[in-house]
DNA sequence: GTAAAATACGCAATCGTTTGACCTCCAAAA
DNA sequence: TTTTGGAGGTCAAACGATTGCGTATTTTAC
């Protein structure tokens, strides 16, 4: 492990000053052609590579963006990361990763690490348990821009990229109505989630557009565990006007619900039709895949978030970015 | 964005030297208690945070490990990353991410970026298309240790962590033999993959242990596309001694194979039983999940790779780490 | 032939922190 | 009274690259 060659070393060997070497390597106009050549050749010979850590330090810029997500192994987030990394790489930025495991403490710790690393900016999807936002405020004070992503805090002045579930839900319900279903159930997620509220809003909107009255008993909520979903299903199926179609909060819920229905001897796609929200790339391999699902484009969201951040970095005076992608119903041709 | 406070600033305000401040903050014994207190208090007040970029530069160490994987959004790799990030975080290391998309060019480019970033070490799963290993050699020359992971190059002196498929395959075949199957097919992957060769080896081994003769026509290979798998299935099912059980290269192949068999009116789990290798956390939601699958523990592999790398960083003279995890058959209770 | 302008380069400071090598008291030992 | 010596600091260099400014040498213009 011989010490890597530095500009100084090149300067010494060529009997010129370090500044000349630096400028020569940058093709600065004030350096003569001869010298440029000599420098560049020697640099190539020595396999010279600029020490980025020195440059980062000197330029006060790291060309690194931090990404903090709840769980790297979840399909939704890993697709998002992929989008982030691709877009960042395309602009010569690197990506520093952290996962909060949905814990506030860990999230704060990662924010701190990222701050110390002097990342140029951050993309964050906040942890479920995070109630206190002071760590985000501290980032703002430090002048580090943050683009929130998917799970966004309830604050006014922030940049964010998210996916609006309303449109997709409207399409989903309309689709079912078009197929003749008149009693449509919904298994929603926890009420406090924005995502849940949007789903319900979409549901109501679609009903209203079709001049059907909104029956609140048809919208039940699950805590997203298998048991929660089973309970939700039992509630729905025991209604006197019981649904012939169900919109499930996500693919996991849908799969659990399907299994429950099967156990109860319902014929899927005859007695009971399912529509879901896409989390899993392969839900169509399942026994009874939903007939359609609302796609959230995590990869694209990741890209957009990165784009937004890069724009902010390029122009720090840029106004608050509030990017909303529309979810979209994808019909699964069998 | 007021310039963040520095050691110099603290020194100036307290009318002491920067070195004293530095030592005070590090609890150096040669600084008096009074001064230490004053420094630490002011530091807290000003919200002082050491500039890591300066420290990285000065210490020639970044406490960052680079991770290069083919595809961040694949379940196997995203689970691995999760393990890597967890283990790294536990040791105050950060993780710089890159995905090669299985392209040699991109891989080289990322290696270069990582080198410039002066990551302390790397964890790499090489791209499918990579034939030329010079970029890895250059890392070695630069004194940056690399732990290869899962997809390891065919080189002698390297560190690696991988999962041996032999043991799991032996178990899988034995399991099927135990269930009374005597004609067991295998849909393998491309021959050049180590993973394929290990599967075949396991298959043969299990047969030999049961004193059954190895019939090579029962082992066919797929290029892992749907069409490839269909062809493989057709080959297997048209044999005169046709198999009652099939070991599939992975869950995707298994799912395709199952769909093919269903189309051909085979009764899954009666006429034909499947065992697979786990890529997908949720394959048991599918219509006909494999009765068992060989688990590769990507999360654990990620952890192990990180552990290995950290040990190497702590002791650069450490010998070549060659960690092999054993795959293991997991039986799916229906 | 001389002034002005262009060309090609060197000097030195700077970024923030760390660290080995001094320095300066003051008290206790000789 | 002169040493020692420890406690508590200070100084300055170093890490590697960048950059504003100054300057020597050459070229051009008149």
Own/partner pairs for B112-117, CB < 8 Å, 24+ apart?
B113/A92, B113/A94, B114/B66, B114/B68, B114/B144, B115/A49, B115/B139, B115/B142, B115/B144, B116/A49, B116/A50, B116/A52, B117/A52, B117/A53, B117/A64, B117/A94, B117/B62, B117/B64, B117/B66
Phi then psi for residue B298, to 5 deg, are -60, -40
Q: Which nucleotide is nearest to B57 (CA to C1')?
A: D15
Give the domain CATH number at B305. 3.40.50.2300
Q: Is A154 exposed, middle or buried (0-12, 13-18, 19+ CB in 10 A)?
A: exposed
Q: Which two tokens stand for residue A91?
A: 């602009």
Q: Which nucleotide is nearest to A4 (CA to C1')?
A: D16
Say how many C-beta atoms besides its own lie within 10 A of residue A204's C-beta. Answer: 18
A49 touching B (Cβ < 8 Å)? yes
Does a structural domain hold residue A56?
no
- State how far residue A63 is from chain B, nearest Cα, in angstroms: 10
pLDDT digits (tens, 9 = 90+) for A74-88: 989 999 999 999 999
* A160: enclosing H helix or E strand: strand A159-164
Q: Which two tokens stand for residue A87?
A: 């877009």
A171 with A268, same domain: the answer is yes
CA distances from A46 to A40, A49, B139, B265 (A): 10, 9, 15, 67
Q: Is the CB of B225 under 7 A from strand C?
A: no
Phi then psi for residue A322, to 5 deg, are -130, 90
Does a structural domain hold residue B17?
yes
A260 with A212, same domain: the answer is yes
pLDDT at A194: 86
B153 with B171, same domain: the answer is no
Closest chain B residue by Cα to residue A82: B72
A193 with A270, same domain: the answer is yes
Say how many C-beta atoms besides its own lie within 10 A of residue A17's C-beta. Answer: 13
Confidence bin at A128 (pLDDT 50/70/90)? confident
Q: Which two tokens stand for residue B33?
A: 């208690």
Does a structural domain hold residue B107?
yes
Q: Which two tokens stand for residue B280?
A: 């997908």
Is residue A239 pLDDT above 90, yes or no?
yes
Q: Which residues pair with A188 in a beta bridge?
A: A221
Token pair 């010494």 in the structure block, residue: A12
* Sequence-ordered list of residues with C-beta below 8 angstroms from that of A6, at least 6 positions apart, any chain: A48, A51
Does a structural domain hold residue A58?
no
Q: Cα Rg for chain A, rounded, in angstroms?
A: 27
Nearest CA among A163, A162, A116, A107 for reference residue A136: A107
Q: Which two tokens stand for residue B160?
A: 């690696």
- Give the Cα separation of B15 and A312 in Å (integer): 39
- Three-state DSSP state, A135: helix
The domain in which residue A28 lies consists of 7-50
Does a structural domain hold residue A2?
no
Confidence bin at B141 (pLDDT 50/70/90)? confident
B98 with B119, same domain: the answer is yes
A282 with A170, same domain: the answer is yes
B72 touching A (Cβ < 8 Å)? yes
pLDDT digits (tens, 9 = 90+) for B17-29: 999 999 999 999 9
What Å value separates CA A274 and C1' D27? Answer: 84
Confidence bin at A332 (pLDDT 50/70/90)? confident
A84 with A44, same domain: the answer is no
Does a structural domain hold residue A192?
yes
B contact residues 84-113, partner A, Cβ 8 Å cutoff: 85-86, 89, 92, 94-99, 106, 110, 113
Phi then psi for residue A188, to 5 deg, are -100, 170
pLDDT at A252: 87
Does a structural domain hold residue B334?
no
A97 with A145, same domain: the answer is yes
Q: Is the CB of A46 under 7 A from strand D?
A: no
Say how many C-beta atoms besides its own lie within 10 A of residue B194's C-beta. Answer: 14
Q: Is the CB of A51 under 7 A from strand D?
A: yes
If you count residue pairs, one on A and one on B, with CB atoms under 8 Å apart, how many are there? 147
Are B63 and A116 contacting, i.e. CB atoms less than 8 angstroms apart? Answer: no
A214 with A261, same domain: the answer is yes
| Nearest-10 crossing angle of helices B52-59, A52-59 | 150
User: Among partner residues B79, B92, B99, which is closest to A85 by beta-carbon distance?
Assistant: B99
- Give the Cα separation of A279 and A283 in Å (integer): 8
pLDDT digits (tens, 9 = 90+) for B105-135: 999 999 999 999 999 999 999 998 888 999 9
Diameter over CA atoms, chain A: 93
pLDDT at B334: 58
Query: Domain tally for chain B?
Result: 3
B279 with B291, same domain: the answer is yes
pLDDT at B239: 94
B269 touching A (Cβ < 8 Å)? no
pLDDT at A284: 63
B316 with B304, same domain: the answer is yes
pLDDT at A283: 61
B199 with B81, same domain: the answer is no
What Å value separates CA A215 and C1' C21? Answer: 83
Does a structural domain hold residue A129?
yes
Q: Is the CB of A23 under 7 A from strand D?
A: yes
């Amino acid at each position: 492990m011989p010490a890597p060659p530095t500009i100084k070393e090149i300067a010494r060997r060529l009997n010129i000053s370090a500044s000349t070497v630096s400028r020569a390597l940058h093709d600065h106009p004030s350096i003569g052609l001869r010298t440029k050549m000599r420098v560049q050749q020697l640099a190539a010979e020595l396999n010279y590579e600029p020490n980025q850590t020195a440059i980062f330090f000197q330029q006060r810029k790291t060309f690194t963006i931090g990404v903090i997500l709840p769980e790297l192994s979840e399909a939704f987030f890993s697709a998002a990361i992929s989008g982030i990394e691709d877009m960042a790489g395309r602009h010569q930025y690197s990506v520093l990763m952290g996962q909060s495991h949905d814990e506030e403490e860990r999230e704060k710790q990662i924010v701190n690490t990222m701050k110390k690393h002097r990342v140029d900016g951050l993309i964050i999807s906040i942890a479920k348990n995070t109630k206190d936002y002071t760590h985000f405020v501290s980032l703002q004070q430090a002048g580090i821009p943050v683009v929130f992503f998917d799970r966004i805090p309830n604050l006014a002045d922030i940049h964010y990229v998210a996916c609006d579930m309303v449109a997709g839900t409207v399409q989903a319900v309309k689709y079912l109505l078009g197929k003749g279903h008149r009693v449509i159930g919904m298994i929603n997620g926890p009420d406090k989630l924005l995502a849940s509220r949007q789903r319900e809003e979409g549901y109501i909107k679609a009903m209203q557009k079709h001049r059907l009255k909104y029956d609140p008993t048809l919208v039940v909520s699950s805590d997203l565990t298998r048991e929660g979903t089973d309970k939700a299903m039992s509630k729905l199926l025991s209604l006197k006007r019981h649904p012939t179609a169900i919109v499930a909060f996500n693919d996991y819920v849908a799969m659990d619900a399907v299994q429950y229905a099967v156990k109860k001897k319902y014929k899927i796609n005859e007695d009971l039709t399912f529509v879901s929200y896409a989390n899993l790339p392969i839900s169509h391999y399942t026994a009874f895949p939903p007939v359609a699902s609302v796609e959230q484009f995590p990869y694209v969201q990741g890209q957009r978030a990165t784009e937004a951040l890069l724009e902010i970095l390029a122009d720090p005076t840029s106004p608050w970015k509030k990017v909303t992608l529309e979810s979209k119903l994808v019909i699964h041709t069998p």
